[in-house]
Structure 1
């Protein structure tokens, strides 16, 4: 039995107006994500602005998405039109360090014995 895939994406986006634009872009993604069969495939998605804290090290917006499988997450990365539109929107925002250094993506399968 495979575990769900949890994906965390963080952005260094210092401008509060740009942060709000990114939050709005994620709301569009949440409404419009679908596979070819018309069915949504993201199990859950939460996005927000970080709470000011030195440990944040400049990361200001965080998205956490949950997928039923690695294949669904790969579809999100490579084929989802709604995610492609979000990535284009991100390029227009003031990402500190550009997309190479101002965005971090990690994903993992949760240990089934954790809460």
Structure 2
């Protein structure tokens, strides 16, 4: 079964808040646990280049999961993901982030 690669794009206007999100994602592979064990293969976040083609998206997070079930756990039950959501609450503009995922 192929891994699941997920990209989440955020519109965060304040560079300080972008850095807060990058810091949270930098420890996600250790912080996110399922059944007492880390379950995210890769987690990174980076700011986008200042370019009109990015349509205001200022941060891209990339997470890689071993399965769709792991991604669903991340969305619905993961405490570390809840911390990221709490960190970004009220800082993301223009609605929720754009999330896409695909087979890796």
Q: Specify the SS of the correspondent of 2:82.
A: helix
Out of 46, 50, 53, the position equivalent to 1:52 is 50
Out of 77, 93, 98, the position equivalent to 1:96 is 93
After TM superposition, where is structure 1 displaced by more than 6 Å over at least 4 residues in a row? none
| C-alpha distance after superposition, 1:21-40 (max 9, x if no partner) | 1112223433311112x211
Out of 69, 72, 77, the position equivalent to 2:70 is 72
Q: Which residue of 2 aligns with 1:106?
A: 100
Aligned pair count reads 104
Larger radius of gyration: 1
Q: Specify the SS of the correspondent of 2:45.
A: strand
* Superposed displacement of residue 12, structure 1: 0.3
Tell me the TM-score normalised to structure 1 length: 0.83
Q: Specify the SS of the correspondent of 1:87.
A: helix
Assess if the C-alpha contact under 8 Å between 1:5 and 1:109 holds in 2.
yes
Higher strand share: 2
* Superposed displacement of residue 13, structure 1: 0.5
* Superposed displacement of residue 102, structure 1: 4.5
Segments of structure 2 that go 5 or more residues without pairing to the other structure are: none
Segments of structure 1 that go 5 or more residues without pairing to the other structure are: 111-115
